[in-house]
A and B are shown apart, each in its own frame.
Chain A
């Protein structure tokens, strides 16, 4: 696997973490694409980091960044990734708080935000498809649509929390021999 320098790695987290709008999931999706494309983490490492981030307390996306950074550069990588992702966006949030608190409306900013959220939506769907493609194995195809549908419908219509869905999937996986 090509080795990245700590600086290169932090720069990727800095760029993706602070330009992807729409919340944690689209950001994870964009990070997945960039980290795997560069060969810094494998699809399997991503899957594990993604799954464990869901069951880590606090913000999933930061747990994911810590995990990915840890794979690439150990503890320094984890720290670098989390700092790169949070510092600029936190400063921006403080600034936005000032704007909102003053009741200011910036109309062109609204147009830009709506467009970038639409882009994040496309990136996110692509990430979900890539994730599914990575797990397709020859003889167990029928389980796959079942688990995906279970995850999606459990959340939207049954009202299960993501944590409960992940736990259920984990238990199902215990009895699933690929």
Chain B
């Protein structure tokens, strides 16, 4: 895997599978992205959908393997950095990267908000889950399930 996040591998996959090998259409690729976004977990899940559309369940398994394998590279990095974690320069680096990462999280919240916040209900849900997460020790799954229930109720009422 040559990419570093979510959909970054999309152009590479498209040029290989759609343009070069003709095993996938653009419409199928769009379906894969939609399915990956709709489901829980990483957006990178769309690779599983691509595999499934090309080769059925074995294809899905191949996509899944391709998706999870690079993750284990991090253990090598952790061992390497971990041994040097007490060094002041390394500490400064980790601190700076963490804060930049927090900035990235906040930046990622903007498109997500644009997509999710339509009308008062999603706004109330987002604010409530922010406050619950910050101020209480409630398990996150209840926040998510509560939101799902609120959405369902609002849909039928």
List residues 152-178 of chain A with CB under 8 A from any CB of chain B.
152-156, 161-163, 165-166, 168-170, 172-178
Please indicate the chain A residues that have their CB under 8 angstroms from the CB of B150 in the complex: 115
In the complex, B72 has a CB within 8 A of chain A = yes
What total of A-B pairs shows CB separation below 8 Å?
A: 386
Interfacial residues, chain A to chain B (CB-CB below 8 A):
15-27, 29-30, 33-34, 37, 44, 47-67, 70-71, 75, 78, 82-83, 85-87, 89-90, 92-94, 96-97, 99-101, 107-108, 111-132, 134-135, 143-144, 147-156, 161-163, 165-166, 168-170, 172-178
B2 to chain A, nearest CB (A): 7
Whether the Cβ atoms of B103 and A147 lie closer than 8 Å is yes
Smallest CB gap from B79: residue in A:
A70
- In the docked arrangement, what's the CA distance between A89 and B67, Å? 12
B13 to chain A, nearest CB (A): 13
The secondary structure that dominates the A interface is: helix
Please indicate the chain B residues that have their CB under 8 angstroms from the CB of A56 in the complex: 4, 70-71, 73-74, 77
Please indicate the chain B residues that have their CB under 8 angstroms from the CB of A16 in the complex: 140-141
Interfacial residues, chain B to chain A (CB-CB below 8 A):
1-6, 8, 28, 31-32, 34-46, 48-49, 52-53, 57, 60, 64, 67-75, 77-78, 81-82, 85, 88-89, 91-110, 112-113, 115-118, 121-123, 125-134, 137, 139-141, 143-148, 150-152, 154-156
B9 to chain A, nearest CB (A): 8
**Top 5 nearest A-B pairs by Cβ distance?**
A151-B103, A115-B151, A173-B96, A58-B70, A122-B129
Whether the Cβ atoms of A150 and B129 lie closer than 8 Å is no
Whether the Cβ atoms of A37 and B137 lie closer than 8 Å is yes
Whether the Cβ atoms of B60 and A94 lie closer than 8 Å is yes
A56 to chain B, nearest CB (A): 4
Residue among B60, B72, B96, B144 facing the most chain A CB atoms (10 A cut-off): B96
B91 to chain A, nearest CB (A): 6
Please indicate the chain A residues that have their CB under 8 angstroms from the CB of B116 in the complex: 22, 114, 117-118, 121
Partner pick for B96 among A29, A149, A153, A169, CB 8 A cutoff: A169
Please indicate the chain A residues that have their CB under 8 angstroms from the CB of B96 in the complex: 143, 147, 169-170, 172-173, 176
Partner pick for A118 among B45, B57, B72, B122, CB 8 A cutoff: B122
Given contacts A123-B143, A172-B96, A174-B93, 5 further A-B contacts (CB under 8 A): A16-B140, A51-B94, A53-B74, A115-B147, A151-B103
Smallest CB gap from B33: residue in A:
A100
Whether the Cβ atoms of B74 and A166 lie closer than 8 Å is no
